[in-house]
Amino acid sequence: MGQPVREYLLTLCVTAAVTYLLTGPVRKFAIAAGAMPEIRARDVHREPTPRLGGIAMFGGLCAGLLIASHLTNLSSVFETSHEPRALLSGAALIWVLGVLDDKWGVDALIKLGGQMIAAGVMVLQGLTILWIPVPGVGTVALTPIQGTLLTVALVVITINAVNFVDGLDGLASGMVCLAACAFFLYTYRLWYGYGVQQAAPATLFAVVLMGMCLGFLPHNMHPARIFMGDSGSMLIGLVLAAGAVSVTGQVDPDVLRAQVGGSREVVHAMVPVWIPLLLPLTIIALPVADLVLAIVRRTWAGQSPFAADRGHLHHRLLQIGHSHSRAVLIMYFWTALIAFGAVAYSVNSTSMWILVGVMVLSAVGLVLLLLPRFSPHAPHWAERLVPPRYRRTHRDAAGATDEAMERVAAEMEAQEAVAAQSVVTGPGGPEAPERPRHQDADHPEPVAAGLHGATAIGERARFADRRGAGLRR
């Protein structure tokens, strides 16, 4: 038991290290290649940021699979299964498509076709769904056409779900890392707990996926120095989908039945597998929900389902008042709750403590989600124990500052109107109105209360043209 864990840990560390070390040079290459698109209306960042982070992630994927193929226990995965080779082939195709999109832009329909081709390549090499466990019925075998269509649909849905959620710094990589960690716990239990050899490729895919995300995440946390782009988001989506396809359609129910019990018990034990098969809710619930809501929202508005907008879940978190970091952490929380809750349910579905724990954590998540909607204030005796933003005196000072700013702005507008009138009338025109007393040299303009030197607003004439002194305006 200890030897496989060490090999998995080594694979994880190598994948993360290679991804992390490659991201710096890839960032310089992206800047030199001009892979820094202009800021769009739906973007939340304020400065052009290089993309093509998927190049480093693909390098980490190759390094992880390479080191695993030379380890004692993990090498058997490459000897008994063609799934690692199928994954690498499909990942290479989707990665090239993503790089082209990050640099020059690719039409949405062409990307959809490329995703289907990548999924088809994996199916041709054996990474496909052969049967599905149905609750109350048992195992249902699929025809080759049915298996191919179901596999392609699952891969395309997962790729686009991850791609849609990649809208905030560190969001997609962190969410996929949490989902991969939960998926690893389940597949590792199938392999070494029940002796199901067919679960070995999915376990390896989950470890490599965790390493790719962990290695890229330090460069992508807010404020991000580089984005993964479509080359990275579609890549990690495909790897996650490949793991779900492998453990769902390749695990032999007869082998699991011999370890667990009857057919009904087998189906019950595979609950966290057939759920991500039908709709990957337990693994990437939030990205899939975001995908479905986006399609419905855009179709209802008469737009293309692939049209970009600012209606995603993370955009809504920002709109209701959450900061960038808090919105990302909230999405992390819900992803971990759903993914690890499903894994815990698969281990012991009869325990009421699991259900109670999930419900309590869900209530906590709802409170955190709606926190900006509340305006809490502390009583006078407890104001020293809470942050300044919850103190009445702090809010009163902030309100006074806002009122002072509004007064100064109104005075500036009045002064500009007076200046414009004097320019139009000229020296021979009507008598110019009397200059306000506070603008005279003997009566300097007072600074509004609550303003300091960095935010005080003075009249524009005070800032003379300094180009002659060699200063930039």
- CA atoms within a 13 Å half-sphere pointing along the CA-CB vector of 18: 24
First to last CA, the chain: 67
Q: What is the pLDDT of residues 336-348, one digit of tens each?
A: 888 888 788 777 7
Q: What is the pLDDT of residue 114?
A: 95
Q: What is the pLDDT of residues 184-204, one digit of tens each?
A: 988 888 888 777 788 889 999
Q: Tens of pLDDT along 240-282? A: 999 988 887 666 665 665 555 544 555 555 554 454 444 345 5
User: Phi, psi (5° rounding) for residue 137?
Assistant: -115, -45
Q: Is 272 helix (H, G, I), strand (E, B) or coil?
A: helix
Per-residue pLDDT at 69 exceeds 70: yes
Least confident of 20-24, 50-54, 141-145, 284-288: 284-288
Pairwise pLDDT comparison (152 vs 402), residue with the higher score: 152
Work out whether strand 131-134 and strand 138-141 pair parallel, antiparallel, or are unpaired. Answer: antiparallel
Tell me the per-residue pLDDT of 317-364, one tens digit each, with 9 for 90 and over: 766 767 777 888 888 888 888 888 878 877 776 678 888 988 999 898
Between residues 184 and 135, which one has the greater pLDDT? Answer: 184
Q: How confident is the model at residue 433 (pLDDT cuts 50, 70, 90)?
A: very low
Contacts of residue 66, defined as CB under 8 A and 6 or more positions apart, other chains included, come to none
Residue 63 to residues 58, 60, 293, 401, 423, Cα–Cα distance (Å):
9, 5, 37, 57, 72
Categorise residue 36: left if φ over 0, alpha if ψ from -120 to 50, beta otherwise: beta
State mean pLDDT over 203-229: 92
Residue type, 379: P
Q: In 184-261, at which residue ranges do the beta strands (DSSP E only) sit?
A: none
CA dist 10 and 338 (Å) reads 28
Reply yes or no on whether the pLDDT at 88 is more than 60.
Answer: yes
Percent of the chain past pLDDT 70, that is, above it, reads 62
Confidence band for 440, pLDDT divided at 50, 70 and 90: very low
pLDDT confidence of residue 413: 66
Per the CB < 8 A criterion, the answer to whether 180 and 16 are in contact is: no
| Measured distance CA(199)–CA(190) in Å, rounded | 6
**With bands split at pLDDT 50, 70 and 90, how would you rate the model's confidence at 301?**
confident
Angle at 455 between CA 453 and CA 460, to 5 degrees: 90
Predicted local confidence at residue 418, as pLDDT: 63
Q: Is residue 328 a contact partner of residue 172, using CB atoms and an 8 Å limit?
A: no
Would you say the pTM of this structure is higher than 0.95? no
Please report the pLDDT score of residue 252 as a whole number: 63
Residue 99 has pLDDT above 90, yes or no: yes
